[in-house]
Amino acid sequence: MGQPKCDRCGLEGTILYEERFWSGSYTETLPDGTTATFETLCDDCHSSLVRN
C-alpha cells in the first residue's frame, strides 16, 4: 500500500493520515467549465466538494 495522495491539491498523506483520505470517484466543475475527476481526496478537498 502506497501513501495516499490527494489528486486535487497534491497533499501527500502518511499512515497516520490515511483515514483522512477519501477514495472514490469525485467530480468537480471548474470555473472554466471543464470537469475534473479525482479518485483520492484529502479531507479538506472532500469537504469542499461535498459542500456543493
Closest approach of Zn ion to the CB of residue 46, in Å: 8
Q: With respect to Zn ion, which residue has the nearer C-beta, 10 or 31?
A: 10
Q: With respect to Zn ion, which residue has the nearer C-beta, 4 or 35?
A: 4
Binding site for Zn ion (CB under 5 A): 6, 8-9, 11, 42, 45
Closest approach of Zn ion to the CB of residue 40, in Å: 9
DSSP structure string for 1-50:
-PPPB-TTT-PBP-GGGGGG-EEEEEEEE-TTS-EEEEEEE-HHHHHHHH
